[in-house]
Structure 1
Amino acid sequence: DHYHLDPFITFDVSRSDHYYVQVMGFPYPANASQRFGNGDGYIYQLLLTDRPYMKASETLKEEGSVRLNLDGWNLHDVRSPPGRADILPRYSDRATEEQRRLIHMKNLSLEKEPNDRLETATGISQAARGSLDHPEDMDWYRWSPEAHTWYQLEVQSGRLGYEGDCLLKLYSEDGKEMASNDDAAGMRDPRMEWQSKDPQTCYLRVSSLLKSSQPPTRYRVIARPMRPSCHLTLESERLNIQPGDSQELKLSIQRTFGHSKPILIKALHLPPGVSMPLVTAEANQKEILLVFHAAHSSRSYQGPIRIMGVDLDNRWNQYVAGKETVTTSVNNGVPNGYLDQVFTKVLDPWLTLTSASEGMDNEEP
């Protein structure tokens, strides 16, 4: 597993010879068995290349100038003028916002040694790039958050292909520890949510949990302001109903970064004869039942529908509900976790409306 479920290998060819590549597939979602899977759903594309490959890029601020840094393999023939970030390819629309931030990070400050103590911390505005050069190395960063703001604090290292296991800690101006994180969602990189209170200077400390001899670990440390938001998760991605019947579907609400407002839930693209009353999830409510009803006169139908939530006080804040493809909050056996996978949900649940007579005709003996 690389950024998500697909494997990725870099290999330095030391001599000309015959090599073999073996591709195998595991059942999905991941389980504890060691069995391989196969069938019509196991379609893949295999790419073998010695062309330049960019795994990440950064624009770095250095004493009034901006420099574009490319990180990857076989980049010795790649040339780019300083500050030209527009040469980067356009990212896929299917990539999540988190993945876009992972692939290309703008305006990183550079770590300035020595910064192994609070008193010599490197000042940053939002993000910096640094390196843990030995097992006992600790890098301190001075940071001034805005008051009463939610932040996502994280370190990107393992997801960029480095071997370290980083620890992130947050300290107050007087050196008291306020928050810390080691591994988020089963991956080696730390990530945590934190809300600032009164205006103050804070300190971020990055260190390694691997105390044995290891090569230098590069990383990015990021303090990103976040807006209140929520994730709507359906109990199932399928809804089966017959004319004259009603069907319930549970909707879970995960609120993040201080979201606590009422949300109006509605269904779109319903076929004629099928309805779902508007419902409101009150402030801090975590679950709600959606009730779908099909009139007796409803005709057979199969197709996607959409379930959305909107903040009552701001209709521009909209959330699309879906069924999670995998559990993103726990380590379920995949080495790097599922935190930054491309598809985290199956959107637009599938509605099947079948009359009782059709159901009997199609029933197997």
Structure 2
Amino acid sequence: MKRKISFYALHLCLCLAFLFLPYAFTSSKTIFTWPDLYSNVHDRIYFFIYFSLLCFFYFNYYYLIPKYYFKNKRLLYFIMIVCFLLFFLWISRFLDHPDHNFLDFRPHPRSFSGDPKPFEGIKPPPDFRGMPPHPMPLDTIGGPPTQYGHTALVYLLGVISSLLFAISGRLQNVEKEKMKSELAFLKAQINPHFLFNTLNSIYALALKKDDRTPDAVIQLSELMRYIISEANEEVIDLSKEINYINSFISLQKTRLGNTAKVDYQVSGKPFGKSITPLILVSFIENAFKHGVNPDQTSEIGIHIDILEDMLKMEVSNKKTFSVKSETGIGLQNTIERLTLLYPNRHQLEIENSADKYIVKLSIKV
């Protein structure tokens, strides 16, 4: 909501600045002169022309460019641009000199044919002999009206700027769609990977005929419900992600029993904060995958600190002799998702020593 308000406020300020641009520097040598739209015809003409050009800018940006330029009808688009240019030139010329021909660029001095005494009261010109040469002022030379060039310049600037803005916005949308496709692909890889590992865990419990197998199945169903219903959102409430992590760790404890020491701590209040779903659990899953061995005592530490605008998580696991050095597909995809979704908003440190694997993650939430 705040972004929309700031967007409209910015456009309103830019429109007002554009409308009052002709009055910023006037012949009265003042920085700004308030337009006299009531009694000054020239001010009304400028205001009307600039207002029309402003309306055409938005019409071109929101209608002509998407409908014609981006639909490979560019020849028709440029023909329409030329036609609108001629129309605005005609409007500006007609309003400025309604009695003159639109295509007549010649100067029109006042005619004295109807005056009975056209030269009465006119003083003879001064004697310029002996005076140093001086360039003739520009306003006495005459020439084509400047209103054409002024209107054409503002019009072309508006067309070019609207094209640049539209092309830039289209490129940004293409980049966003590409990012969404990449994220969807990464998620599609993460979810089956997690399901495969969890089913293996429950299968191990079933082979042992462990009484905790039904509870593990229920916990898995809750996790899958979260993945199906919540994980497709771009962002979710942090409290839901924490609940998901709680269920995941509870399921792993059920599977491992007393063979693993899990130090899991959460501090801070997650309510009112948002995060991308499934962005944290891959690091935790990686610790259980590579840091657990039934023949050894496993040690896993998971500490999550929720601050005012920052989440800090540290996941550590003691390495076992069966741990491989390469990371799993879920962890690698999570690192790529962090790069795409939290550019310059996260910090990831991975310490891979001989006997311990530690992940330190900080995310702005």
Instruction: For CA contacts below 8 A with separation 6 or more, give which structure has more relative contact order.
Output: 1
User: TM-score with structure 1 length normalisation?
Assistant: 0.22
Greater gyration radius: 2
- Which is richer in strand? 1
